[in-house]
Homo-oligomer: A and B are copies of this chain.
């Protein structure tokens, strides 16, 4: 059986994801699709709309064969570490290829870009730090520096101002650096831009657009054109049991409490909190009643919104710089859900896996990386602040991979 890997968040699973999934299968002519998926906290530094079990079920219902959890330490990391964790897992799972969506659409440009930046590494890094000294944000500095080092090149290069291109670049980079045997593929990303609204006349909307509807006054039916019916069912079941969707706005009273519980000195020990941001975060938490006004108070040219959200994610989850530095690569493979085909595939590669396959977390109590996944899952439920969510505490010990 031939497997292709994809890296996903499915927050929530929508028609754009379905397109990516089907195209990946066609393009790589694979029997099995394996998705490495974030747990309850995401790369943009925020709680997921619904928990990982629900998102894994959406994925399997839509045709994914195997959903593997990307450990918290990678799922909430900067793009390069996020990509490294994901590609490492897909390679460990014997995927022949992995396939990502990009604005670029052609793989050649990614390889050219990787080689250009490897060759001109020093020049590139110097440019980045010069731009940053001028006080501009890291992503902008990357972009401007990229312009500097690429201006003489006659080869087709990737436009690294586009979000999916950036992530794609990091996947390629990770595959090279890990000397992975996995082959890369990209498909052109269609239609919706990341921040677009969900427009009723179309069938593909971005996850951000869909989330806007979910948090608004509208009924779930307002987004029925944009999601498979199975996703809609899961969302509607979630809404009726949990009463709320995950978001920083929802978690704010608790995040606020956690911030104010600590001294500024202690805040600075949490992963990604740097350059005095502990002061800005603490001072704004005293004053601001909502997450939105809190963020508006602390945002700066220096840090992107996403970067600040990652700081908050780590503060919320008690994840320190020290722990961050102690993790290099994933140390286990944890399936969340699988189809019958996915189960057969896993069975076939089981004895050759380079990492332990975790179906019951209780058997791996000493694994710090896994303990972090369990802890952050619990804290996610507590942030939802609903009676049913309280009952999900410890569910990582009780739920075994869903077979569907």
Q: Is the Cβ of B390 less than 8 Å from the Cβ of A257?
A: no
Q: Which of B261, B317, B375, B385 contacts A253 (CB 8 A)?
A: B385
Q: How large is the interface on A (under 10, 10 to 19, 20 to 34, 35 or more residues)?
A: 20 to 34
- CB neighbours (8 Å) of A287 from chain B are 393-394
Q: A256–B286 contact, CB under 8 A?
A: no
Q: Is A260 touching B391 in the complex (CB atoms < 8 A)?
A: no
CA distance A21 to B38 in the complex (A): 61
**Considering the chains assembled together, what is the distance between the CA atoms of A289 and B256 in angstroms?**
22
Give the one of A257, A285, A379 with max B CB within 10 A: A257
Does the CB pair B390–A286 fall under 8 Å? Answer: no
* Cβ of A340 under 8 Å from chain B: no
Q: Which of A379-393 contact B (CB under 8 A)?
A: 379, 382-383, 385, 390-391, 393
Q: Is the CB of B260 within 8 A of A393?
A: yes
What is the bound-complex CA distance between A138 and B33, given in angstroms? 61
Residue on B with the closest CB to A387? B289
Given A286-B378, A378-B286, the answer on whether A393 and B256 have CB atoms closer than 8 Å is yes
Would A394 and B286 count as touching, CB distance under 8 A? yes
Q: Which of B256, B257, B318 contacts A262 (CB 8 A)?
A: B318
Query: Closest residue to A384 on the B side, CB-wise?
Result: B253
Which residue on chain B has the smallest CB distance to residue A378? B260
Query: Is A18 engaged at the interface, CB distance under 8 Å to the other chain?
Result: no
A320 to chain B, nearest CB (A): 11
In the docked arrangement, what's the CA distance between A267 and B289, Å?
Answer: 29
Binary interface profile of A, 222-249, with partner B (CB < 8 Å = 1, else 0)?
0000000000000000000000000000
A258 CB–B CB distance under 8 Å: yes
Q: Which of A253, A254, A289 has the most CB of B within 10 A?
A: A253
User: Residues 260-286 of chain A: 1 if any B CB is under 8 Å from the residue's CB, otherwise 0?
Assistant: 111000000000000000000000011
Pick the contact of A391: B285, B289, B379, B397 (CB < 8 A). Answer: B289
**A367 → chain B, closest Cβ, in Å?**
14
Contacts of A382 in B (CB 8 A): 253-254, 256-257, 260
Contacts A/B (CB < 8 Å), 18 sampled: A253-B385, A253-B390, A256-B390, A256-B393, A257-B383, A258-B258, A260-B382, A260-B393, A261-B317, A261-B318, A285-B393, A286-B393, A286-B394, A287-B393, A287-B394, A289-B390, A289-B391, A289-B393
Apart from A260-B378, A286-B393, A286-B397, 13 more pairs, CB < 8 Å: A253-B390, A254-B382, A256-B382, A256-B390, A256-B393, A258-B258, A258-B261, A260-B379, A260-B393, A261-B375, A262-B318, A289-B390, A385-B385
